[in-house]
Structure 1
Amino acid sequence: MTDPAARLLEAHRRLCAEFGCPLSYFHALDPLDELVSSLLSHRTRNADSARAFRNLRERFPDWETVRDAPVAEVEEAIAPCTWPEAKAPALQRTLRALTERRGALDLSHLAAMDADAARDWLQSLPGVGPKTAAAVLSFSTMRGRALPVDSHHHRVAQRLGVIPPRMAVGPSHRVMEAMLPAEWGAQEVYDHHQVLMRHGQKTCHFRAPACGRCVLLDICPTGQARRADPFTEAREPDYPAPP
């Protein structure tokens, strides 16, 4: 199977059979809550970013108060995250920029925009990159058609040869989303992200991937090379380490 898009869709088919698509959405936050949650989640384990988010909700009555609070108080609340000293001022900058543009902390206007326009608008905010924008559209109650790519998802795509070994996570969002069938709706795109991410977490590990039990082994160039040559790992690209 030489066509990268065909390989990606075959991987989707097999992994959906393994994980049981369609998959339930893992939470139902409104777009603004999802924006904050996604900003906290960068390079942070899900349980830790969820704890930091809960801390903010419990300590401050609303996001306006988070925006205007002393930065040290926000940093203390989000201490479970990685780099809270950087994330606290960055979160406040994003909230201030949103207020300046919208006159309030409100993302309801995104619902009237198509996915590309909404993603571009979100990415114009300081601190918001492709993954955060896609997460807001896909994971929030908007349930939009957008493909987030995390480090696990990205690593699986690289090893499958779907994207080049040196392609960064940011540019990979548009490249991989363009490979998905136009008729897919938000649920199918969400499932696609989820199954590739879960495969990266459970089988296609950052170190020592479990190729022997991988359902994608016969279509995975990296897995085939590993099976043929036990020293392949030493020559593999430096895939981003998972959070």
Structure 2
Amino acid sequence: MDALPRRLEIAVQRFEEHQGVKRWPGPSDPLDSLMLTLLSQNTNDKLRDQAYEQLRRRFASWDEVLAAPGDEVQKAIKGAGLSHQKAARMQDILVWIRERFGRLNLDSLSGMDDDAVIGLLTARKGIGIKTAAVVLMVALGRDLCPVDTHVHRLAQRLGWVPPGLSAEKTFWALRPHVPSGEGYNLHMNLLQFGRTICLARKPQCAVCFLYTECLYPDKAVRKAEMEGRI
């Protein structure tokens, strides 16, 4: 077996042992998922969710969001940060969706394969591969592992991809090697791991269950610091 598939299988096994199996909760509306993911850019999940809930309370439908003055949409999502930019992007994408599909609905994506959906969505300014992959995974249950900030950092520290490889190229490099049926499970476990153990700053190397698989150059120093040996 090649090194990368073996490393990914080891990671899936360790995650399940230490963090449990993450199961896809079932289908959801792909347009809702797209808008929620757009709000997530440059913010955390709590602020994203709060802004999304406020937006849905303020406007009864995506048609109302599209018809609303931009500053009203900005007010509704201000908690997520970059509200001016995000409001304009969301309304621009809603215009495109209505023009492309005749209504504000993305249910037809379920009849398209993954590459076709990624190509369609990413052709629109403001929608990147991570956002498209999240919509596919979360809303439609596709077997993908989107690469966000956490997944990107961990993929490099664990030696899955070369240092300096972009998040977009990391997605394409990992995609064919993610164990079949494990895309959601791997992605969600990587998020948990990146938020609790393999932090961007001061990773918790002394308690890391992937320590032996990690290529992070400072891991021995971090482990010694945490154990009080230096």
Tell me whether the two structures share a fold, i.e. TM-score over 0.5: yes
Aligned to 1:177: 175
1:89-238 equivalences under 5 Å are 89-140=88-139, 142-181=140-179, 184-185=180-181, 188-222=182-216, 225-227=218-220
Aligned to 2:12: 12
1:133-168, CA deviations, whole angstroms, 9 ceiling, x for partnerless residues? 01111111x212222111111111110111121112
Change (3 A) 1:22 1:56: closer
Aligned partners of 2:47 and 2:166: how far apart in 1?
A: 25
Aligned to 1:236: none
Contact 1:5 1:162 (8 Å CA) reproduced:
no
Contact 1:137 1:143 (8 Å CA) reproduced:
yes
Change (3 A) 1:105 1:11: same
Aligned partners of 1:29 and 1:40: how far apart in 2?
A: 17
Shift of 1:4: 3.0
Shift of 1:41: 0.5
Change (3 A) 1:9 1:68: same
Identity %: 35
Matched, 1:72 2:65: no
Aligned partners of 1:175 and 1:98: how far apart in 2?
A: 29
Aligned partners of 1:35 and 1:59: how far apart in 2?
A: 18
Count of aligned pairs between the two proteins: 224
Shift of 1:123: 1.4
* Structure 1 gaps, min length 5: 231-243
Shift of 1:28: 5.6
Is the partner of 2:141 in helix, strand or coil? coil
Shift of 1:23: 3.0
Worse-superposed segment, 4-13 or 41-50: 4-13
Aligned to 1:88: 87
Aligned partners of 2:166 and 2:61: how far apart in 1?
A: 35
* Structure 2 gaps, min length 5: 224-230
Shift of 1:130: 0.7
Coordinate RMSD, CA, aligned:
2.1
Aligned partners of 1:21 and 1:229: how far apart in 2?
A: 28
Shift of 1:216: 0.6
Contact 2:47 2:79 (8 Å CA) reproduced:
yes
Contact 2:14 2:210 (8 Å CA) reproduced:
yes
Shift of 1:180: 1.5
Contact 2:31 2:106 (8 Å CA) reproduced:
yes
1:9-57, CA deviations, whole angstroms, 9 ceiling, x for partnerless residues? 21121112211114353x8631010010000011211111111111111
